[in-house]
Structure 1
Amino acid sequence: MERHLISRIAHRHHPVAAPLFDGSVERLLARALPERAERLLDLGCGEGAWLLRALAARPALRAVGVDLDAEGLTRAREGADRLGLTRRIGLHHQDAREFEAKEPFDAVLCIGSTHAFGGLVPTLGAIRPLLAPGGVAVVGEGYWQAEPDRASLEIFGDGFADLSGTVARVTAEGWTPVYGHASSAAELDEYEFAWTGSLAEWALDHPEDPGSAEALRVAGRHRDEWLDGYRGVFGFVTLVLRRSAAHP
């Protein structure tokens, strides 16, 4: 099965593709989008969960989403249609690294998609020219809550730091955190149970599908990697950032 299809099925019951409760998403959007905000961009928007929530709460806001998953973008359009938001959203099927803005944005999101740019620091570099003066970046990134073992490094790679090191990387690039949310143990567990459970449930409900057996294997392997390996080791932080005064 294609990675996009597995992810889509796994996020059926957790449409925000990050370990965040709804209240956490609302708080992050509230801090990222002051009343004067008019333009929002999501790099790696998937099915548009963040964009649709922001647009529904802010009648004056216009939004743009970029993603390589064509089916995810179709679902984002369908969601916008249902909510009457179609005229205020633009969706682009392209590599986020190639996106060029005709005018800058008041806020740029990249939550759980920094891999598309090669990591946290390149993501910050890509966001910088897309932001209007005084604009806000919202970046969600993994970090190590405890020393990773070899298995955790094989799963996630060696690009993460601990929470202090992650914030230090951000500030070294000329950004100042103005808000942040480190996902709780409950948020991380909910996300993993939803991801593995939704995929396994789909496989059990569709035994005739050619991808059913693979989906069940992927769900089981992922669940074992989490429960027997990186649970309590991998963490996730979402930072609301502004450019530091000394770094235009």
Structure 2
Amino acid sequence: MDRQRVSEIAHRGHPIAAPIAEESVRGLLARALPAAGGRVLDLGCGRGAWLVRAAEGRPSVRGVGVDLDGEIVARGREDVERAGLGGRVVLHAGDVREFRSPDAYDLVLSVGATHAFGGLAATLDAASAYLAPGGSVLVGEGFWEREPQQATLDAGFGADEFHDLATTVERVVADGWIPVHGHISTAGEWDAYEWAWTGSLSRWALDHPDHPDSAEVLETARVHREGWLRGYRGTLGFVCLVLRRVEG
């Protein structure tokens, strides 16, 4: 089974494709969105969960999302319609690096999608091109809670893939951004995300024993679960930052 299909199944039990609880998502959006609402752009939107939550209860919010996975975007459009937000939230299938818009946005999101641009700094550079004066960026990125040991590297990470939290924030500030709010995912948020991820895959495989990919999906869940529990649990952290630039 291809990677995008695996990801779609894995996230069925956790609509936010990151280790962040529902209340944390809504808290971040409350801090990041202008009081008067405005335009929101999500680069790497998945099914548009952040945009739906940004627009719910805020009639003045208009959202645009872009994601490479056309199947996930199609499912996201169904979510948007079910939420009664058709016309206010629009999702596009395509490469975020090639997306172009004549509009400026009051909030640009990219949570757990910095790999699409080649890293955090490149993601912020891309986001700044769409930002309206006084606007904010909400970015979510991994960091090392502690020095990664061999078990973490064996789970598929590079030692230089992330930095510690202080260094991550310092690099953002050095690029001209000012953190105005942040959220560090708790151990509970991480555990809930990982159990949902591996559990959704395992449940699908057990419910479809005759599917040709069933055994492969069950093994994918097992390998991921072992990599989490024996590898990066307590080592890999996740931080969401609300950032602004100094005007003038």
Bin the TM-score by the shorter chain: over 0.9
RMSD: 1.1
1:48 matched to which residue of 2? Answer: 48
Moved over 6 A (4+): none
The number of equivalent residue pairs is 246
Deviations 1:66-91 (A, max 9, x none): 00111111111111111221111222
Tell me, in whole angstroms, the C-alpha distance in 2 between the residues paired with 1:135 and 1:153: 37
Distance 1:237 1:199 in 2: 25
For residue 152 of structure 1, report the CA deviation from its aligned partner: 2.2
Q: Any idea what the Cα deviations from partners look like across 1:85-137, whole Å, max 9, x if unmatched?
A: 11112221111011112111000000000000001010011111110011000
Unaligned ranges ≥5, structure 2: none
2:34–2:106: 8 Å Cα contact kept in structure 1? no
The residue type equivalent to 2:118 in the other structure is G
**Percent of counterpart pairs with the same letter?**
58
Which residue does 2:150 correspond to in 1? 150
- Point out the structure with the larger helix share: 1
Task: Supply the AA of the counterpart residue of 1:156.
Answer: F
> 1:206 Cα deviation (Å)?
0.5
Q: Distance in 2 between matches of 1:215 and 1:46?
A: 21
Aligned 1:93-172 pairs, distance under 5 A: 93-153=93-153, 155-157=156-158, 158-172=160-174
- Measured in 2, the distance between the counterparts of 1:56 and 1:221 equals 37
Structure-2 separation of matches of 1:57 and 1:164: 35
Mapped partners of 1:76, 1:222: distance in 2 = 25
Q: Distance in 2 between matches of 1:60 and 1:182?
A: 29
Inter-partner Cα distance in structure 1 for 2:157 and 2:127: 23
Greater Cα offset, 49-58 or 161-170: 49-58
From 175, 179, 182, the equivalent of 1:180 is 182
Instruction: Show the counterpart of 2:9.
Output: 9
Quick one: which amino acid aligns to residue 191 of structure 1?
Y
Kindly provide the amino acid, as one letter, of the partner of residue 138 in structure 1: L
Q: Which residue of 1 aligns with 2:223?
A: 221
Partner of 2:68: 68
Q: Distance in 1 between matches of 2:152 and 2:130?
A: 34
TM-score, normalised to structure 1, is: 0.96
Q: Which runs of 5+ in 1 are unaligned?
A: none
Structure 2 distance, partners of 1:201, 1:192, is 14
Question: What is the CA-CA distance between 1:195 and the residue it aligns to?
Answer: 0.5
When structure 1 is superposed on structure 2, of 104-113 and 78-87 the one drifting more is 78-87
Hey, what does 1:27 align to over in structure 2?
A: 27
- TM-score, reference length from structure 2: 0.96
